[in-house]
Every structure is written in C-alpha cells, then in structure tokens.
C-alpha cells in the first residue's frame, strides 16, 4: 500500500454484506465487516490530518487518527486498546453510530470523495478482539471506597458505569428487565446488532468491576432514597425514554396494532421470531404497515419482513429528506423491498371482529418549518386511500416513562417531561445525576454513551470533593 502522499486517493474499501434477497429471509447480521486486509487497506487511506477534524464529530472523543494508524500498521490489539481508552462499547458503536453525521462527516477525504470508513474500522478491531478471545483490561485507579448506583443498563448506564469503575468506584447497575442492555437488548434487532456482541461488551463492563442486578425496578422494588440509606454515595439515572407514543386515532387498540417497542421487544428481547421454541408469540403479518420514519421504524419494517410479510409499507408523513433514520438504514430497507409511502399519515384503523384489516390514510404536503426546523406536514383534504394491513406497527417515538419519576417527585422535570439537568448532569436532587434519553428525549446510542461518560466524570468530581 502506498503512503498517503499520493495525489489520487484510493476509493473507499467496500464492506461485504449479505445480499438483500438472502438477508430479507434471516435474522443474521446484514454487515459482514472487513477482513484484516480490507481493514489495513481502508485505514491506509487516512491522511492523518494534524488537526484531526474527525475527532470533533465524536461525542466520546476517541483518538481516531491514532487507532486508524495502528490498524494501517497491522497492530490491531493496540488499535482496540486505543479506542477503549475512550469508548467501552466499540463493537456496538461501530455498528449503530450514525458516523455519517459524526466523525466521518468531518473527514478531510470527504471533500474529494468518500470519507474514511471510521465506523467499519472500529467494528473490525472490536470484532477482532472479541473473536480472538484476548480481551485486555485497561488500568483501573485504586479503590475510592465510594459507591455509585446506576439505574438502567442501556448505553448511558453502561458507559457511565464502565468509566466510574475505571476511576476506582464501586458500581452497581440496576436493570428492570431480566436482561441487561436496555435498547441494545430489546430494541435494536439481531440483524443490525447481534445480541452476542452486546453480551460480550456488557461482560467487559462487568470485568471492569461493575455489578449488574436485573429484575429491579427503581421506583417500585427500591426507591432512590433507599439507595442512599444503603450506602450509595451517588446515583446516575440512565433509564431511557421508553413509554411508547401512539397516534390517538380511532381503531388504534385493534388486535394486530403494535407499538414498535412491543413489536421489537417481542422479537428481540423475547426472541419471538423463534416461537414456538421460545414461548413469546408475535403476529406474523402478510401486509404490514409501519408508521414512522426513524431508525426504529426501519428496524420494525425489516423485522416484519423477516417474519415473513409479503408486503411491508412504511408510512411517513414527510419526505425521505426529513426522515430521521440513517441513510444506510433507509437504503437497506429499500433494497430489501420495504415499500415507502411518503407524504401520508393514518387517519384511522379499520377492523373486522376486533382485528385490524386496513389503514385509512390521508395524503400530506409539506408546509412551513416547525420548531425542529423540518417542514410541517399539512393534510390534503379528500386524498384518503386504503392500505391493507393485518399488522400495524406504530413507530412515532417515545416519551418519558412515569414509574421512576412519579416515585421521586423531588426530581424536577423540564417542559417536555424529561429530567431537567444542569450542565454538570446534576438533577435537582442532591447526589442524583442523569443522562441519556431520559434527559434529552429519544436520541442516539452514542449520544447516550457520551452523556454517560461525561456524567461519570462529574460524579467523580462530586465524590472526591
């Protein structure tokens, strides 16, 4: 491989993936990833810019040029160590981060061609380490004799717990479900994020010293004040925003109408796609309508397809331009045969004998921009049309779950019902910090990881001063 003083930049090394036809019939991971040679070739495209603009786009400040240059040299063990200095969950981030809006967006190469495939390289070294079985642990600080309770084992909680453990604190994570991982376990499907990958990264957090207690709902099984009286010195809330939103149109409670959270939880967490080997059932629709345009909508549509649907329609009230989903996910969904019905929204759900049979939709057009800056959909009167459906999945976002918030009225909320935090991630309750979706509303895995990490530093300051 030539050094990077060459004039013409080599093209981005493509990543192998399962063909659309093949993968639409199975739950195996879509992306097959780079092999060592491909990784070295791709890493060698890096210009090693002194100013490292890519790092500006990384919410957890991974030293990207250094780990990429280590891959180019073929030292994969050192490369993963470099990433793990900042990011405890690289195999997850390499798969689900929206790199195109982060590190890769700022890559100098993108001015002349395709940016460096930073995400794929991260995935490659993380997988390389996991598959080799030689997982090295970073240096930990000596014990501080301080105890921290982390509520929720999703991305924010795991990242916060990992960093607190490295700083020498004793950390316990409390998880409401029977399995840890939060949205990584119940939400993101196997074909995008294999559960064995999630389990291994959680094992790493445990190896750093964090203990995980499942089946404990803070606010029900245990209260925050009890945690303090049990000797915890600080609490981090990373409970996520998990209460599904519904459309509030007639017929929404017909049988066969799911929230995306329910559909994905059944499929991913409960493994309903393997029913009856696993006990949890799920409706396998022939004509499935998914409402929404985010990553969760794409995940739902692609899951329904893999469960054997003949037609999966994705109904979105704006255009593809405004879809919050990653381009890559939209592309994958289209390749697999998901039928996009943009500029339309459900008016009501029609059923026979209590079961959904069709969605009555109405067309929309784009009006003036709303507070999110996106143009607001406006109903086109008289443009109704019907879509046949025996399963409908509503994927229009989530809100704050009330369980913990109702049990802890002394934690102040913001105008949108999420936990109000100051710059240092402190809530209005002494010793209680919060991060991730419960403070921001639905966002990305990496943003939650970012806030979890920064909160860990703030908690560290709080505990040691």
Partner 1 sequence: MFKILKKEKLAPLVFGFEIEAPEIARKAKPGQFVVLRIDELGERIPLTIYDFNEKNSSISLIFQEVGKTTRQLASLSRGDFIGDVVGPLGKPSEIKNFGTVVCVAGGVGAAVIFPIARALKKAGNRVITILGARNKELLILEKELSSISDDFFITTDDGSKGKCGVCTDILEGLIEGGQEINRVIAVGPAIMMKFVCETTRPHGIKMIVSLNSIMVDGTGMCGSCRVTVGGETKFCCVDGPEFDGHLVDFDELMNRQKMYLEEENTSLKEHEAKELKKGKCGCKRDK
Q: Where does this chain bind partner 1 (CB under 8 A)?
A: 176-178, 186, 214-217, 220-222, 242-244, 246, 248, 252-253, 255-256, 258-259, 261-262, 265-266, 270, 275-281, 283, 354, 401-403
Decide whether 59 or 294 has the Cβ nearer to partner 1. 294
DSSP assignment string, 11-80? PPPPPEE--HHHHTT--S-SEEE--HHHHHHHHTT----TT-HHHHT-TT---HHHHHHHHHTT-HHHHH
Least distance between partner 1 and beta carbon 281 (Å): 3
Least distance between partner 1 and beta carbon 438 (Å): 13
Decide whether 35 or 402 has the Cβ nearer to partner 1. 402
Decide whether 248 or 423 has the Cβ nearer to partner 1. 248
Please give the Cα distance from 443 to 450 (Å, whole number).
11
Place of tokens 């195996």: 28
Helix (H, G, I), strand (E, B) or coil at 299: helix
Tokens of 18: 């399962």
Least distance between partner 1 and beta carbon 399 (Å): 10
Least distance between partner 1 and beta carbon 131 (Å): 24
Decide whether 137 or 274 has the Cβ nearer to partner 1. 274
Helix (H, G, I), strand (E, B) or coil at 226: helix
Please give the Cα distance from 350 to 227 (Å, whole number).
48
Contact assessment for residue 103 and residue 118, using Cβ atoms and an 8 Å cutoff: yes
Least distance between partner 1 and beta carbon 241 (Å): 10
Report the run of H or E that residue 173 belongs to, with start and end.
strand 170-174
Rounded to an integer, what is the distance from CA 448 to the centroid of its chain? 9
Least distance between partner 1 and beta carbon 216 (Å): 7
Phi, psi of 46 (to 5 degrees): -65, 135
Strand intervals (E) in 196-249: 211-213, 234-237, 243-244
Decide whether 180 or 460 has the Cβ nearer to partner 1. 180
Least distance between partner 1 and beta carbon 462 (Å): 27
DSSP 218: B
- What angle is formed at CA 198 by the lines to CA 420 and CA 440, rounded to 5 degrees? 15
Least distance between partner 1 and beta carbon 95 (Å): 23
Place of tokens 């990433």: 83
Decide whether 125 or 296 has the Cβ nearer to partner 1. 296
Least distance between partner 1 and beta carbon 61 (Å): 32
| Peptide bond before residue 59 is cis, with ω within 30 degrees of 0 | no
Residues in the chain, overall count: 465
Please give the Cα distance from 81 to 152 (Å, whole number).
26
Please give the Cα distance from 238 to 448 (Å, whole number).
8
């Amino acid at each position: 491989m030539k050094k990077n003083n060459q004039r013409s930049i080599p093209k981005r090394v493509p990543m192998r993936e399962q063909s659309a036809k093949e993968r639409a019939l199975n739950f195996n991971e879509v992306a097959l990833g780079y092999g060592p040679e491909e990784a070295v070739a791709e890493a060698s495209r890096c210009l090693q810019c002194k100013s490292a603009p890519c790092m500006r786009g990384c919410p957890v400040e991974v030293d990207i040029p250094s780990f990429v240059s280590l891959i180019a040299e073929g030292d994969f063990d050192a490369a993963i160590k470099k990433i793990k200095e900042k990011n405890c969950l690289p195999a997850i981030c390499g798969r689900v981060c929206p790199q195109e809006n982060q590190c890769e967006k700022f890559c100098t190469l993108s001015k002349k061609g395709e940016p460096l495939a930073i995400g794929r390289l991260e995935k490659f070294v993380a997988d390389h380490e996991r598959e080799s079985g030689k997982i090295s642990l970073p240096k930990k600080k000596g014990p501080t004799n301080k105890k921290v309770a982390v509520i929720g084992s999703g991305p924010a909680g795991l990242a916060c717990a990992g960093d607190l453990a490295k700083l020498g604190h004793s950390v316990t994570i409390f998880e409401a479900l029977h399995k840890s991982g939060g949205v990584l376990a119940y939400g993101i499907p196997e074909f995008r994020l294999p559960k064995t990958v999630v389990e291994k990264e959680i094992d790493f957090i445990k190896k750093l010293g964090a203990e995980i207690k499942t089946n404990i709902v803070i606010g029900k099984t245990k209260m925050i004040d009890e945690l303090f009286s049990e000797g915890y010195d600080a609490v981090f809330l990373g409970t996520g925003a998990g209460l599904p939103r519904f459309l509030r149109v007639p017929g929404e409670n017909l049988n066969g109408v799911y929230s995306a959270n329910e559909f994905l939880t059944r499929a991913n967490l409960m493994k309903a796609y393997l029913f009856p080997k696993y006990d949890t059932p799920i409706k396998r629709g022939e004509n499935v309508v998914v409402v929404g345009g985010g990553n969760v909508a794409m995940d739902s549509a692609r899951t329904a397809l893999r469960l054997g649907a003949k037609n999966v329609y994705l109904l979105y009230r704006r255009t593809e331009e405004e879809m919050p989903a990653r381009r890559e996910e939209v592309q994958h969904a289209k390749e697999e045969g998901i039928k996009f019905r943009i500029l339309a929204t459900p008016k009501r759900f029609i059923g026979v004998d209590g079961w959904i049979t069709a969605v009555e939709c109405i067309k929309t057009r784009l009006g003036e921009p709303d507070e999110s800056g996106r143009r607001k959909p406006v109903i086109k009167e008289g443009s109704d049309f019907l879509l046949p459906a025996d399963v409908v999945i509503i994927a229009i976002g989530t809100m704050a779950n009330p369980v913990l918030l109702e049990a802890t009225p002394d934690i102040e909320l913001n105008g949108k019902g999420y936990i109000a935090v100051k710059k240092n991630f402190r809530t209005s309750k002494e010793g209680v910090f919060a991060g991730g979706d419960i403070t921001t509303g639905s966002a990305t895995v990496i943003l939650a990881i970012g806030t979890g990490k920064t909160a860990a530093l703030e908690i560290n300051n709080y505990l040691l001063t």
